[in-house]
Amino acid sequence: MLTDADREWWKEAVVYQIYPRSFDDSDGDGIGDLRGIVDRVDYLDELGVDVVWTCPVYESPNADMGYDIADYRAIADEYGTMADWEELRDALHARDMRLLMDLVVNHTSDEHDWFQASRDPDAGKDDWYVWREGDPEEPPNNWISLFGGPAWTWDDEREAWYLHLFDEKQPDLNWDNPEVREAIYEMVNFWLEKGIDGFRMDAISCISKPEGLPDADTGEDWFDMGIYFNGPHIHEYLSEMADRTWDDYDAMLIGETPGAGPEEAQAYFEDGIDVVVHFDHMDVTYGPGGKWSPDYVGMDALAGEDDTTLDERLNTMDLSELQAAIRKWDEGVGDGWNSLYLGSHDQTRAVSRFGDDDEYHRESATLLATFLLTQRATPFCYQGDELGMTNADWDSPDAIRDVEAHGQVERLLDEHDVPYETVAPFVRNRSRDNARTPMQWDDSEHAGFTDGDPWIQVNDDFERVNAAAARDDPESIFHFYRSLIDRRHADDVLVYGETDYLLPNDDYPDVWAHRRTLDGDSRLVVLNWQGEAVAVTGLDGLDGEPVVANYGDAGRAGERFRPYEARVYETE
Ligand code: ISL
């Protein structure tokens, strides 16, 4: 029985993620900004989302596009002013939406004053980062950065190594130092007092480093072996932070917790994190070697195949693996709560990856919406996914902006001795830049994103895929999202119901079905996740009229499902 005590606003919310740099540019410098977001608040309201999470807009040299923060309390000029941020906060609050930002505290920029002071052993901050003395030719251990290359850089000024799990311009803070923690808590309170409604805690599972910084086991998958993640003091530090900061507020805390499984997540929930973000369902399209390994497709194939075949091969997915990942977290979440996303600023475009962005663009994008919005997890919609934005072409390495893609492309070219054109299809299906092309507002120049030169290329398909066209078309992906968001808001079964996983099975490897049940009421969700029609027999409840359907005609009943057909039924 669902009681008021079970309810939480952040469980019932739909989150919309904004990458400010690429959302809307109000001043013509080619870079999206806070005023641009303010101008689009009505759009967000029309879509019906409850929480807006913006990626970093703090002062930053942008080595990792704002995830390298030089001043936590200042808005970067290119994004506007603190007054603009306050206006955005007020505009959202006036429409009952909340505002969350990234909290990036595993590392700062190397241009942050703290790091600059830390380079000088006499400036009183020598222990604020993870430094090691030693031989300038030999890093202190074998760790490699999540962006490729060693996780250590030698600093000539201090004559010591510093650790960076990400880019060399993102030195890791030393959380074992109480002064560091204190400074972070003060900064968090600064934002809470300003009226922020919560945080998405970036790479939060990385903040506590293992005692003695031992070498990593360099076997297969050593990234996952725990050396970087869930360190010995992590829960002590997070509960201390909760106690000193957000425990006094009704804030939503989203933990990005790479390297944590559902069991580990229980401890994060106890620390006061409301929802966790995991990656298991993202791994299903990568193949055995991981995101940046072309091995399972083969470098020769990359050079030889046509683009459409390659796009398909690089996004091959076994639906039962996807279900296993979702199910593992749904069943393992215990008293905690999951989030669910299909796209983010770190991923390729959902419809290109999990659907068919060509022949069945609308059908597969709306199928993905149905998947996203009918699970027991707070759904995150990434900007542009509600329009069905697609992966872009990256014909020249000069078009690439992302530090990860640059690093990995360099590595691939080095290791394989091939021209850039050979790896370009791989970039199209892996690079984070795909999610970062400008939001497509209309069919005018630069998709209505800017009057200037966009900082990153606009996707070629903007004349067809854009918000203005989508708002005018009642059958659009946008309106499908909008009405499904409304439905989720009105239906406790879709938010709180338990899930039974029905399909895929051996007979229907490409059909997804699940049933949500709450207090005797249930909803059946059936998704024909393929470009072929299929007759699905043996599922109870397909005879009535669906309450959600992505094909608008009378044929949307019974056992026959057309390509990427998605339906939801109210069942007993
Ligand atoms: O995006 C990834 C690989 O493609 C992940 O490994 C990602 O780096 C990891 O999930 C942490 O991500 C977060 O912190 C990074 C930043 O680059 C990402 O944009 C952010 O989401 C470093 O701050």
pLDDT bin (cut points 50, 70, 90) of residue 202 is: very high
**Higher pLDDT, residue 527 or 150:** 527
Ligand 1 atom nearest the C-alpha of 432 is 4
Answer yes or no: is the C-beta of 67 below 6 A from any ligand 1 atom.
Answer: yes
Task: Kindly give the number of the ligand 1 atom that is closest to the alpha carbon of 146.
Answer: 6
Q: How many Cβ atoms are within 10 Å of 572's Cβ, its own excluded?
A: 7
pLDDT of residue 221: 53
Ligand 1 within 6 A of CB of 168: no
Candidates 33, 168, 202, 264; catalytic one: 202
Mean predicted lDDT score pLDDT of the chain: 95
Secondary structure of residue 338 in the 3-state scheme:
strand
Ligand 1 atom with the shortest distance to the CA of 203: 11
Q: How far apart are CA 141 and CA 164, in angstroms?
A: 12
Rounded to the nearest whole angstrom, what is the distance from the C-alpha of residue 73 to the centroid of ligand 1?
22
The CA distance from 542 to 525, in Å, is 10
| pLDDT at res. 51 | 98
Q: What is the DSSP letter of 71?
A: E
The residue among 316, 335, 340 whose CA lies nearest residue 514 is 340
3-class SS letters over 487-545: HHHHCHHHHHCEEEEEECCCCCCCEEEEEEEECCEEEEEEEECCCCCEECCCCCCCCCC
Is the CB of residue 104 below 6 angstroms from any atom belonging to ligand 1? Answer: yes
Residue 258 CA to ligand 1 center (angstroms) comes to 9
Please indicate whether residue 172, judged by its CB atom, sits closer than 6 Å to ligand 1: no
- The residue nearest atom 12 of ligand 1, judged by CA position, is 203
| pLDDT tens digits, one per residue of 110-136 | 999 999 999 999 999 999 999 999 999
Ligand 1 contact, 346 CB (< 6 A): yes
- Is pTM beyond 0.95? Reply is yes
Spatial separation of the C-alpha atoms in residues 105 and 373, rounded to whole Å: 30
Any catalytic annotation for residue 133? no
How far does residue 4's CA lie from ligand 1's centre (Å)?
Answer: 36
User: Which residue reads 């949307």 in tokens?
Assistant: 556
Judged against a pLDDT cut of 90, whether residue 555 lies above it is answered with no
Atom from ligand 1 closest to the CA of residue 256: 10
Distance 432 CA to ligand 1 centre (A): 10
pLDDT tens track for 286-298: 988 889 988 888 8
Ligand 1 binding pocket includes 64 (Cβ within 6 Å):
yes
Q: Which of 103, 202, 204 to mutate to test the pocket of ligand 1 (most atoms within 8 A of CB)?
A: 202
Q: What angle do CA 345, 346, 350 make, to 5 degrees?
A: 75
| pLDDT per position as a tens digit, 327-351 | 999 999 999 999 999 999 999 999 9
Check pocket membership of 146 for ligand 1, CB cut-off 6 A: yes
User: pLDDT of 253-288, one tens digit each?
Assistant: 999 999 899 999 999 999 999 999 999 999 999 988
Ligand 1 in reach of 166 Cβ (< 6 A):
yes
Catalytic position from the list 50, 256, 386, 433: 256
Q: List pLDDT tens digits, range 418-461.
A: 999 999 999 999 999 999 999 999 999 999 999 999 999 999 99
Distance (angstroms) between ligand 1 centre and the Cα of 487 equals: 32
Residue 256 is among the residues annotated as catalytic for this protein? yes
Q: List the residue whose alpha carbon is closest to atom 11 of ligand 1.
A: 203
| Cα 203 to ligand 1 centroid, rounded to whole Å | 7
| Residue 120 CA to ligand 1 centre (angstroms) | 29
Q: Which atom of ligand 1 is closest in space to residue 258's alpha carbon?
A: 10
Whose Cα sits closest to atom 3 in ligand 1?
Answer: 346
**Confidence at residue 495, expressed as pLDDT on a 0 to 100 scale:** 98
Question: pLDDT tens for residues 30-81?
Answer: 999 999 999 999 999 999 999 999 999 999 999 999 999 999 999 999 999 9
Q: How far is CA 10 from CA 249, 253, 278, in A?
A: 13, 9, 17
| Whether the CB of 404 sits within 6 Å of ligand 1 | yes
Q: Is 258 in the pocket of ligand 1 (CB under 6 A)?
A: yes
Query: For residues 359 and 110, what is the distance between their CA atoms, to the nearest angstrom?
Result: 46
- The residue whose CA has the least distance to atom 9 of ligand 1 is 203
Element (H, E) at 89: helix 82-94
How many angstroms separate the CA atoms of 284 and 290, rounded? 9
Is the CB of residue 50 less than 8 Å from the CB of residue 98? yes
Closest-CA residue, ligand 1 atom 4, reads 346
Report which ligand 1 atom has the smallest distance to the Cα of 279: 10
Confidence of residue 557 (pLDDT cuts 50, 70, 90): confident
Query: For residue 304, how far is its CA from the centre of ligand 1 (angstroms)?
Result: 31
For residue 383, give the DSSP letter.
T
Q: How are beta strands 378-382 and 15-18 bridged, if at all?
A: parallel
Pocket test for ligand 1, best of 104, 344, 346, 426 (most atoms within 8 A of CB): 346
Share of the chain above pLDDT 90, in %: 87
Ligand 1 centroid to residue 433 C-alpha, Å: 13
Q: Is 423 helix (H, G, I), strand (E, B) or coil?
A: helix
CA angle 402, 407, 411 (to 5 degrees): 145
Residues 196, 199, 200, 201, Cα dihedral to 10°:
140
**pLDDT of 225 above 60:** no
Rounded to whole angstroms, the Cα distance separating 263 from 276 reads 12
Residue nearest to atom 18 of ligand 1 (CA): 346
pLDDT in tens, 155-183: 999 999 999 999 999 999 999 999 999 99
- Ligand 1 mean position to 346 CA, how many Å? 6
202 in ligand 1 pocket by Cβ < 6 Å?
yes
